[in-house]
């Protein structure tokens, strides 16, 4: 509880003490019959001003600024009117309970903001830069790309970069929501915002601070409130017209019956005042934005960054999810998955392939060298070259080795055969004889299958995949993951066309989400109803174009995001209907003279408190 909450509590306690004094003290005995009523009025006024003085001041200030119809105005008019009707207890009680509601609101907002504030703690304070043989502590903004920074145990990684020396474990919980630390060593890419837990790391900076992961996260979170959901905009517009309308109705209710039908002024003015207290729209105005804010905060705890409540609302209606393949459903790194020799051993075939590929920097070459796992003795290679788009050749130990695709084999007059395993086939010939092939594949992420099955369990009717990869590979991935439909060998502009067709085929009042990570995915992410980017390893263009960013690159978090969005929207709808239902009911009772001031207090403050407590459930949606 912060200092502001304590001040409110002290004010409430002081006001309650004076209220109890007015109710319980024997005024006639203490002040005499002549002054007893003045003494009681004085105690009530002191209590009222203690608990409601700030409301009166805000009402006056807003009136001077042209903002007449707000909750401060309604509460002030209703309670001052109650004083004129000599209903002192009700007047003080209304303001007292209103302030209790304000306290609950303030605590709820603080809790909601704290979930975001935890994320803001990832901002690095400094960076240790190696300059002229010494370490200098500087602002992260002052570090240039290519400079070496040193990160000691317990320090936060200030900038994105590649480890050039050292090994450690990194705590990425603030970025991805993962509780288990990650191992990191030479050659690994690390992102800003993580905490170095053990060893000293020397890191070559690859991005300026303004382009770093932590900077992008903070910018996304800070701007998340800029894009309001339709429900929020509706409530804002609703309150703008609703408040003057109920003020007019309250005035008519208080004036017309006495004037036209010569009824009792006191009774009908009292009904009008009760009508005003009931009509305060604070339950809606407070709880709906808080629900969205809580949903965004709850998602951020899971490493899911939502750029605005409007995207949370659209995501809740998701009925079609379209995936990119490479880097989204697969790891994005090629791996040797099979070695099929003809007349040599698997080890020999892989060795010849590695020597032939050793001068290439292609991802396929790197995967074969990694699978070989031994140092390349370049003295064994007398000549090497590359046939662009087809493969490589090299003379190894005096033998001519050719490694590449089917076109390369045909061009060299070598007979070959395809493999039943889906993936990229690297055929290998030695001295003109076919010796077998190596299958390279981009392996599926561990939770890719779970992601698709969980989305279908949530009622997502269509899953699709758009990829630039070969038909055989795309068909294999789609079959293994039970994806409903796919399109392969697509160029970026063809991906957009394929997405347009899916958009035309989706059901009314539903939305389509596209999930991707590459630069070529940016146009599709922007065109989808809601774009979801893989944030940890995804390209800057994809993250910029997306509406939601998954910081831990887990496809299964798409289902988590949809679930959070739907629960948030459910809570928003509960608050809207509950608040409107109770208020309409009590407004009718107030107009009929059945409702009293205490019922009015519940319809205003009670409903607001209950709606706020319900909205706070959004903070726990990630648990």
140 and 166 share a domain? yes
Q: Which residue has the tokens 């099955």?
A: 453
Q: Is residue 554 part of a domain?
A: no
Nearest to 383 by CA among 368, 371, 398: 398
Residue 121's pLDDT is what? 55
Give the confidence band of 235 by pLDDT, cuts at 50, 70, 90.
low
Q: Is residue 399 part of a domain?
A: yes
247 and 103 share a domain? yes
Provide the Cα torsion 110, 114, 120, 124; round to 10°: 110
Is pLDDT of 179 > 60?
no
Terminal CA-to-CA distance of the chain, rounded, Å? 23
E-strand spans in 517-598?
A: 530-534, 548-550
More confident residue, 456 or 41: 456
Task: Confirm if 481 and 363 have CB atoms less than 8 A apart.
Answer: no
Residue 621's pLDDT is what? 60
Please give the Cα distance from 320 to 67 (Å, whole number): 44
217 and 242 share a domain? no
Which of 175, 190, 222 lies at the terminal end of a domain, its last residue? 222
Residue 177's pLDDT is what? 45
Percent of the chain with pLDDT over 90: 22
Q: Is residue 562 part of a domain?
A: no
Give the confidence band of 461 by pLDDT, cuts at 50, 70, 90.
very high
Which of 515, 546, 577 lies at the terminal end of a domain, its last residue? 546
Quote the DSSP letter at residue 507.
P
467 and 452 share a domain? yes
Residue-wise DSSP of 80-101 = HHHHHTT-HHHHHHHHHHHHHH
Mean pLDDT, residues 93-108 taken together: 72
Mean pLDDT, residues 203-232 taken together: 65
173 and 185 share a domain? yes
Is pLDDT of 253 > 80?
yes
Give the confidence band of 450 by pLDDT, cuts at 50, 70, 90.
very high
User: Which tokens sit at 558?
Assistant: 């798409």
Is pLDDT of 113 > 70?
no
373 and 345 share a domain? yes
What are 331-372's pLDDT values in tens digits? 767 788 889 999 899 999 999 999 998 888 777 888 899 889
In whole numbers, what is the pLDDT of the chain averaged over residues? 81
Q: Is residue 436 part of a domain?
A: yes
Give the confidence band of 97 by pLDDT, cuts at 50, 70, 90.
confident
Give the confidence band of 454 by pLDDT, cuts at 50, 70, 90.
very high
Q: Is residue 553 part of a domain?
A: no
Mean pLDDT, residues 153-182 taken together: 77
353 and 418 share a domain? yes
Where residue 386 sits, what CATH number does that domain have?
Answer: 3.40.1110.10
Q: Write the CB contacts of 352 (distance below 8 Å, at least 6 apart in sequence).
A: 344, 396, 399, 401, 403, 428, 430, 435
Q: Is residue 122 part of a domain?
A: no
User: Which tokens sit at 298?
Assistant: 């709850």
Is pLDDT of 86 > 50?
yes
Strand partners, 502: none
176 and 281 share a domain? no
SS3 187: coil
Residue 30's pLDDT is what? 75
44 and 99 share a domain? yes
User: Which tokens sit at 131?
Assistant: 């300059």
Please give the Cα distance from 36 to 40 (Å, whole number): 6
Residue 81's pLDDT is what? 75
More confident residue, 270 or 368: 368
Where residue 213 sits, what CATH number does that domain have?
Answer: 2.70.150.10
Active site residues: 324
Displacement of CA 237 from its chain's centroid (Å): 26
Tell me the C-alpha to C-alpha distance, in Å, between residue 105 and each of 110, 285, 291, 602, 605: 9, 11, 12, 15, 10
Measured on CA atoms in the order 471, 474, 480, 482, is the torsion positive or negative? Answer: negative
Nearest to 491 by CA among 511, 458, 469: 469
Residue 216's pLDDT is what? 62
Percent of the chain with pLDDT over 70: 84
Q: Is residue 158 part of a domain?
A: yes
Residue-wise DSSP of 433-451 = EEEEEEEEEEEEPTTHHHH
Where residue 465 sits, what CATH number does that domain have?
Answer: 3.40.50.1000
SS3 492: helix
Residue 485's pLDDT is what? 94
Mean pLDDT, residues 311-323 taken together: 92
Nearest to 331 by CA among 444, 186, 189: 444
Q: How many CA within 13 A on the CB side of residue 146?
A: 0
110 and 144 share a domain? no
What are 20-38's pLDDT values in tens digits? 888 888 777 777 777 788 8
Which of 416, 444, 472 lies at the terminal end of a domain, its last residue? 444
Backbone angles phi, psi at 181, to 5 degrees: -65, 160
287 and 186 share a domain? no
Q: Write the CB contacts of 55 (distance below 8 Å, at least 6 apart in sequence).
A: 72, 75, 76, 95, 98, 99
Q: How large is the angle between the packed helices 71-84 and 265-279, nearest 10 degrees?
A: 150
User: Which tokens sit at 156?
Assistant: 């936060």
What are 117-135's pLDDT values in tens digits? 454 456 677 889 998 888 8
Residue 537's pLDDT is what? 52
**Structural domain total, the chain:** 4
231 and 113 share a domain? yes
Residue 321's pLDDT is what? 96
Tell me the C-alpha to C-alpha distance, in Å, between residue 160 and each of 201, 294, 382, 549: 13, 29, 40, 17
Domain, as residue range, for 377: 332-444
Report pTM: 0.65
Q: Is residue 204 part of a domain?
A: yes
């Amino acid at each position: 509880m912060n200092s502001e909450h304590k001040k409110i509590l002290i004010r409430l306690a002081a006001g309650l003490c004076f209220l109890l004094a007015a109710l319980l003290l024997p005024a006639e005995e203490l002040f005499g019959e002549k002054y007893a009523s003045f003494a009681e009025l004085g105690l009530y006024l002191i209590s009222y001003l203690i608990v409601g003085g700030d409301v009166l001041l805000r009402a006056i200030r807003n009136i001077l600024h042209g903002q007449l119809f707000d909750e401060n105005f309604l509460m002030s008019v209703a309670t001052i009117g109650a004083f004129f009707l000599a209903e002192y207890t009700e007047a003080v009680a209304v303001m007292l309970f209103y302030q209790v509601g304000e306290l609950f609101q303030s605590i709820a907002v603080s809790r909601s903001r704290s979930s975001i504030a935890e994320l803001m703690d990832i901002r690095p304070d400094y960076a240790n830069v190696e300059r002229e043989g010494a370490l200098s502590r500087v602002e992260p903004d002052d570090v240039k790309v290519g400079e070496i920074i040193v990160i000691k145990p317990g320090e936060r990684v200030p900038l994105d970069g590649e480890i050039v020396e050292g090994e450690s474990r990194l705590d990425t919980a603030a970025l991805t929501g993962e509780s288990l630390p990650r191992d990191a060593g030479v050659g690994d890419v690390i992102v800003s915002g993580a905490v170095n837990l053990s060893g000293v790391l020397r890191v070559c900076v690859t991005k300026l601070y303004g382009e770093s992961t932590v900077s992008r996260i903070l910018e996304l979170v800070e701007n998340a409130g800029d894009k309001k959901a339709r429900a929020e905009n509706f409530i804002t517009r609703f309150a703008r017209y609703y408040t003057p309308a109920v003020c007019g109705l309250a005035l008519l209710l208080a004036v017309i019956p006495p004037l036209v039908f010569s009824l009792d002024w006191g009774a009908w003015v009292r009904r009008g005042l009760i009508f005003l207290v009931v009509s305060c729209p604070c339950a809606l105005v407070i709880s709906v934005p808080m629900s969205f804010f809580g949903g965004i905060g709850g998602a951020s705890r899971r490493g899911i960054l939502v750029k605005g409540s409007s995207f949370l609302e659209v995501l809740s209606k998701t009925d079609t999810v379209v995936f990119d393949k490479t880097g989204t459903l697969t790891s994005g790194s090629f791996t040797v998955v099979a070695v099929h020799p003809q007349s040599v051993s698997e080890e020999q075939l892989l060795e010849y392939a590695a020597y032939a590929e050793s001068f290439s920097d292609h991802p396929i070459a790197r995967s074969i060298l990694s699978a070989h796992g031994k140092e390349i003795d370049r003295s064994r290679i007398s000549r090497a070259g590359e046939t662009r788009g087809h493969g490589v050749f090299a003379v190894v130990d005096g033998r001519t080795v050719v490694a590449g695709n089917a076109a390369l084999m045909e061009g060299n007059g070598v007979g070959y055969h395809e493999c039943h395993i889906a993936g990229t086939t690297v055929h290998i010939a030695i001295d003109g004889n076919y010796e077998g092939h190596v299958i390279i594949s981009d392996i599926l992420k561990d939770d890719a299958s779970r992601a698709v099955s969980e989305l279908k369990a949530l009622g997502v009717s269509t899953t699709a995949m758009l990829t630039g990869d070969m038909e055989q590979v795309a068909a294999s991935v789609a079959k293994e993951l039970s994806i409903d439909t796919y399109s392969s060998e697509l160029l970026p502009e063809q991906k957009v066309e394929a997405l347009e067709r899916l958009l035309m085929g989706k059901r009314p009042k539903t939305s389509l989400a596209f999930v991707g990570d590459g630069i070529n995915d940016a146009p599709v992410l922007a065109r989808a109803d809601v774009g979801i980017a893989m944030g940890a390893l995804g390209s800057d263009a994809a993250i910029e174009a997306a509406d939601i960013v998954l910081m831990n690159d887990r496809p299964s978090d798409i289902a988590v995001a949809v679930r959070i969005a739907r629960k948030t929207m459910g809570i928003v709808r509960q608050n809207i209907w509950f608040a409107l239902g109770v208020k309409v009911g009590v407004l009718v009772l107030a107009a009929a003279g059945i409702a009293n001031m205490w019922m009015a207090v519940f319809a205003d403050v009670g409903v607001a408190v209950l709606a706020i407590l319900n909205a706070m459930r959004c903070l726990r949606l990630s648990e």
